[in-house]
Amino acid sequence: MTDSENTKCGHACKNSCAMLNEALRKETASVRFYEGVFDQCHSPEIRNFLGDLIDERRGNILRIIQKLNEIHARSQSIDGMIASFTS
């Protein structure tokens, strides 16, 4: 069974999304891996390539965090609307 089969989205994205949190975890782990390889590498060509990969992954991390923040804000807005009808 693959990791994607083990991680199921419950489609109940209240305040956060399990799938995006898992993606964030994996992207962060990949950055740590590439940074470790980068630190051990002595070839300028490979170091430049790894540096580009690290920058791309960090960009992905920022995008995932932004999306999680959007989901959280939307959830809070919906909770506020629901609360105004039930009060």
Domain holding 61, by residue range, is: 14-86
Q: Using alpha carbons, list the distances in angstroms from residue 4 to 7, 9, 32, 43, 67.
A: 5, 10, 21, 34, 20
Residue 63: both structure tokens together: 């995008």
Confidence band of 19 (pLDDT split at 50, 70, 90): confident
Domain assignment present for residue 5? The answer is no
Domain assignment present for residue 39? The answer is yes
- Is the pLDDT at 1 greater than 60, yes or no? no
Specify the number of domains making up the chain: 1
Helix or strand (DSSP H, E) at 80: helix 44-86
To the question of pTM greater than 0.85 for the whole model, the response is no
Mean pLDDT of all residues in 42-57: 97
In the chain, the percentage of residues whose pLDDT exceeds 70 is 69
